[in-house]
Structure 1
Amino acid sequence: MKLKKLTREEFSWSLYDWSSSAVTLLLTAIIPIYLKSIGHNYNVADSMSTAHWGIVNSVSTLVLALCAPVIGAVADFKGNKNRFFNVFFTVGILSLFASVFLDNYYALLIANFVMLIGYTGTYIIYDAFLVDVSPDERMDYVSSFGFGMGYIGGSIPFVLSLLLIMLEPFGLDGVTAVKLSLALNGVWWLLFTLPFLKNVRQVYSIEKTKHVVSGTLKNVAATFKKIAHHKVMGLFLLSYFFYIDGVNTVITMSTEIGADKGIDANQMVLALLATQLVAAVSVMLCARLVKTTRAKPIILVSIAVFAGVCVFGYFMTTALHFWIMALVVALVLGTIQALSRSFFAKLIPEKDRNNEYFGFYSIMTRYASILGPLILAGLTLWTGSSRYGILGILVLFVAGFIIFARVKEPDEEKEAASCANSADVLG
């Protein structure tokens, strides 16, 4: 299937991946290490800092997960989708800039908690915008392209941040260098979000009702019932809950795990940079591969690779091991995220209520982000070693693989539904 070039809306939508991925790297590679350093001034051990960071991620995720269906339902009303995105984006960007001026360990934890609310909140809306900017037959390609843009775009401010932190030019001290890197990433996030704010608009919507609260709750309940009766969508969301939990945990806690293993911070950061570059190439190749190959087998292979990474992580002891783990993850990281997003988008039966459906998709994403860090933090605190926490994540990928293996492709599901409807008419 030959695909046309990206439209202005598709490209502007993809640019948000480019801009916001800088924040992802901050949360993965720089802020956790920075918190450990600041925590030393407050007699906070590295293992406790790991636990604190896991709790911050889990609680912020829980707050959004509880609100996601209602946010999605209200965002479906005409004109609300862009408003909700703007609010979350404003909260996130202001909290990031606030972190530049904070030196207290606990104040930084709070600021990052608020930033996580704003940052991840934008993705509840952003993911659903895929339905507005792209038709079904282009979704795999556009979603994969977006993730590829994210890996490339996120790497640029990340490299500049590394140069600031590692070289400490112009007589900067370590803390000031980190603060400047936070400001740099905030400017990047703001600047390259502007095309999205200008060009991406809500296409599918429902008219506002007089009774917004009761109407919203009814819509949420109705959508939940539809998902419950939609076997393929229900199975997909259940499998996604498990395997994306493991993926998110590997992403958000990787540097914490490496630090607990005694791996040099510079080695970890360089490995993560290489991960970004390899992942960018990998997901762009995937964008071409999905033109001729179904998404399901690619997702299954990706889940299996992550399961293997958990086993390998249990035995990780050296910087070389960390490099190997990081590069293997890079081969499938963007692919599993991009294809999961477009796989679900193509399952949505009512385009004008896509935010409601993506609200439940976000529940799976956000609740999944609670269980993984808690497993890792709990087993680490219980045993005193993060290696058992890493191994505990394996069960999430095993469960996700088994369930997803039973899920039909979106086009197979639509064909089956069409045949069933034809049979009913003939009957």
Structure 2
Amino acid sequence: MFKNFNKLEKAWIYYDIGNSAFTMMVSTIIPIWFNTLADTAGMSDSQYLAYWSYATSVATIVVAFLGPVLGTISDNKNFKKPMFMTVLFIGVIGCALLGVAPNWILYLVTYVIAKISYSSSLVLYDSMLTDVTEPERMDLVSSQGYAWGYIGSCIPFLAALVLYFLATINKVPMKLAIVVDFLLIAAWWLGVSMPLIRQYEQKYYVENAGSKIAASFRRLGQTLSHMFKEEKKIFFFLIGFFFYIDGVYTIIDEAVAIGTSLGLDTMGLLVVLLLTQVVAFAFATLFGKLSQKYSSVSLITVCIFGYLFVAIYALFMKTLVQFGIMAFVVGMFQGAIQALSRSYYAQIIPAENSGEYFGLYDICGKGAAFMGTTMVGITVSITKSVNVAVATLGILFILGFIFLRKSASIK
């Protein structure tokens, strides 16, 4: 399966396969089960949506502030691996406990903790790329991580989906199905992560005397100042990334909600989402191979324009077939744009400060995730049109393209 990759590169790719199963749950079964708990507590649909949005926002904001701090501290010698293991284990335990949370309040608290831990693990995981492979292989390795993450996550998710479906037709008790689903995803996440835990060793690091944590905060402040003044290439890339990746995350995270708002069949939407993972696997693999011939910036630009097409196409989307076409196009570019952005960034930053820089990367990525959803919410409120709301995301892709080209023009 990975005959052209060494053991450490394979182990790094496996973690994408492990954590992607939790990502799928966040987009599907986790909010669906929360809706069930909310209904049991007598909540209205508006209250359910509000509390779910609040919980997601809390997790996003905490990670936005926590990411750079964790990343900077992890750059100290022999810090990265134990920090990664800590947040991984907390996330896995939180995922497992979601199935036994007795009420909506504890469920949301557990979800927030699991989501923060999951996102924190990605900050450290992304920063490991500089230790795992050589600069000329980063595009390929990063693309394979996303590609196999998409296809690998389908295995436990499909099993969880089948069990949930059996519960909806009273073949299996719903509570039992939910408990087993979350235990299954937690076990998959931990099990597939074990090769990376066993094999990873921190290659690049910084030496600090005295308090490593205090020194890490000083170093973060110095990096921000230096980036703004001297590292314009990195600075403008992060601004561009901030815009275009927010549009990407909004479309991915809101896909089921968008389809539901258009009155499309829920089970049909879930099937389309599952098929999108297969498409994403194929095209992330393809873009990984293309990265050996074409520059990362050129391929990211292609992906941005692909998403711009999706935003415009959304104006005319009304049926499940049309939604499927949109999902297919999204699948073509969603893995590639994330993988190539990650590997390109890893190539232009100092390897010994990768944790610190990827913490800032995470702020511009997951920390920016509120902007697109806010645009969609405001536009829907004003125009009463989901189609127009999705189309407004095109603004983010245009701005992202402008700043990406600005970054690329700086040597």
Q: TM-score, normalised by structure 2?
A: 0.93
2:266 aligned partner: 265
State the identity %: 31
CA distance in 1 between partners of 2:378 and 2:101 (Å): 29
- Map Cα deviations across residues 227-253 of structure 1 (whole Å, 9 max, x no partner): 212111111000000011111111222
Pair 1:9–1:230, CA change in 2 (3 A) = same
Question: 1:288: how far off?
Answer: 1.1
Question: Does the Cα contact within 8 Å between 1:99 and 1:112 map onto a contact in 2?
Answer: yes
Question: 1:387: how far off?
Answer: 4.1
Pair 1:362–1:235, CA change in 2 (3 A) = same
Within 5 Å, which residues of 2 pair with 1:208-357? Answer: 208-228=208-228, 229-348=230-349, 350-357=350-357
Question: Does the Cα contact within 8 Å between 1:279 and 1:330 map onto a contact in 2?
Answer: yes
Letter in 1 for 2:395: V
CA distance in 2 between partners of 1:390 and 1:11 (Å): 37
Question: 1:48: how far off?
Answer: 4.6
Question: 1:42: how far off?
Answer: 3.2
The size of the alignment, in residue pairs, is 408
Question: 1:45: how far off?
Answer: 4.1
Question: 1:28: how far off?
Answer: 1.1
Question: 1:33: how far off?
Answer: 2.4
1:369 aligned partner: 369
Does residue 62 in structure 1 map to residue 61 in structure 2?
yes
Question: 1:386: how far off?
Answer: 4.2
Does residue 94 in structure 1 map to residue 93 in structure 2?
yes
Letter in 2 for 1:136: P
Runs of 5+ consecutive residues of structure 1 not aligned to the other structure? 417-427
Pair 1:376–1:114, CA change in 2 (3 A) = farther
Question: Does the Cα contact within 8 Å between 1:38 and 1:105 map onto a contact in 2?
Answer: yes
- Map Cα deviations across residues 377-414 of structure 1 (whole Å, 9 max, x no partner): 444456666445423333211211222122328xxx6x
Letter in 1 for 2:150: Y
- Map Cα deviations across residues 204-231 of structure 1 (whole Å, 9 max, x no partner): 0112320334312220112112321211
The RMSD of aligned alpha carbons is 2.1
CA distance in 1 between partners of 2:402 and 2:71 (Å): 29
Question: 1:74: how far off?
Answer: 0.8
Question: 1:7: how far off?
Answer: 1.2
Letter in 2 for 1:25: M
Pair 1:175–1:251, CA change in 2 (3 A) = farther
Question: 1:300: how far off?
Answer: 1.0
Q: TM-score, normalised by structure 1?
A: 0.90
Question: Does the Cα contact within 8 Å between 1:32 and 1:255 map onto a contact in 2?
Answer: no
1:17 aligned partner: 16
Question: 1:366: how far off?
Answer: 2.4
User: 11-20 vs 256-265, which deviates more?
Assistant: 256-265
SS of structure 2 residue aligned to 1:400: helix
- Map Cα deviations across residues 264-284 of structure 1 (whole Å, 9 max, x no partner): 221111001100001101111
User: 36-45 vs 337-346, which deviates more?
Assistant: 36-45
Within 5 Å, which residues of 2 pair with 1:32-47? Answer: 32-46=31-45
SS of structure 2 residue aligned to 1:407: helix
Question: Does the Cα contact within 8 Å between 2:76 and 2:212 map onto a contact in 1?
Answer: no
2:155 aligned partner: 156
2:134 aligned partner: 135
- Map Cα deviations across residues 184-218 of structure 1 (whole Å, 9 max, x no partner): 11111111111111111211011232033431222
Question: Does the Cα contact within 8 Å between 1:18 and 1:150 map onto a contact in 2?
Answer: yes
SS of structure 1 residue aligned to 2:206: coil
Pair 1:362–1:216, CA change in 2 (3 A) = same
Question: 1:15: how far off?
Answer: 0.3
Pair 1:385–1:40, CA change in 2 (3 A) = farther
